[in-house]
Amino acid sequence: MHTKDEKSAAFSRLLDIIDELREKCPWDRKQTNESLRPNTIEETYELSDAILNNLPREICKELGDVLLHVLFYAKMGSERGDFDIADVCNRLSDKLIYRHPHIYPPADKPAAGAEMTTADQVLQQWEQLKAKEKDGNRSVLSGVPASLPALIKAFRIQEKAANVGFDWEEKAQVWAKVKEEIAEFEAEMARGTHEKAEAEFGDVLFSLVNAARLYGINPDTALERTNRKFIRRFGYLEQKTLKQGCNLKDLSLAEMDAIWEEAKQNAAEE
């Protein structure tokens, strides 16, 4: 691993490269916040893929791509006179110190946060301090980005509500709510009212996300792992069919189920 001086030198070198590219490269010079935004989203998802695949070299590479975008936005901010990378770093440092009083106790409260012994306590304190910040989000849920994917947004909404005490007394109580929402969805499906059934299905998903949160499961990660598992198994089904000289559409459901079970038993597919 590198020393602190080596890390500082590497960061300084990167800043110099960003400055030079912005000045001399036609593509880099042309970029704006708006033009760069779609690329930033793509890079974030590529980092997510690398993390889920547990590929350290790829994680390192994708972190570099995300960092490039952070520095690029800061460079454009400095050109407008709005802020620069030092402002970004200092604001982040100030926020981290303020929201970790159990590590950086204020001078007037030297024992602040001494009772913080669990990650859940720290998270609750973080949200409470965030709500108190002068320039922060005073509404508990207003800090949840509107453009977040719905599954992640549901998780964050519930997490933030729980951090101010709006939660089940016992986590097992959530299952009664899950069963209630499923029953209501089934009832609307039986009535054939599509719009109401859609609303009830949303409630089912929301209650399942809540259950996942209470039991320490990230629903987005869990669903993505299932997506990948399905893709692997379906790929096995397709390849096995091709090897047999058949068309997948010509197989009966029973025949496809038999190959699907093979895929499940295939140790290599996991």
Compute the average pLDDT of residues 42-60: 94
- What pLDDT does residue 122 have? 82
Q: Check residues 143 and 30 and name the one with the higher pLDDT.
A: 30
- What pLDDT does residue 266 have? 78
> Do the Cβ atoms of 223 and 253 come closer than 8 Å?
no
Least confidently predicted of 94-108, 177-191, 204-218? 94-108
Confidence check: pLDDT of 117 > 80: no
Query: 34 exposed, middle or buried (CB, 10 Å; 0-12, 13-18, 19+)?
Result: exposed
Residues 6+ apart with CB under 8 A from 118: none
Compute the average pLDDT of residues 140-164: 89
pLDDT tens across 198-234, in order? Answer: 999 999 999 999 999 999 999 999 999 999 999 999 9
> Do the Cβ atoms of 78 and 86 come closer than 8 Å?
no
User: Dihedral sign, CA of 64, 66, 72, 77?
Assistant: negative
- What pLDDT does residue 267 have? 52
What pTM was estimated for this model as a whole? Answer: 0.69
Q: Check residues 135 and 83 and name the one with the higher pLDDT.
A: 83
- What pLDDT does residue 269 have? 45
Average pLDDT, the chain: 90
CA–CA–CA angle 33, 35, 37 (5° rounding) = 65
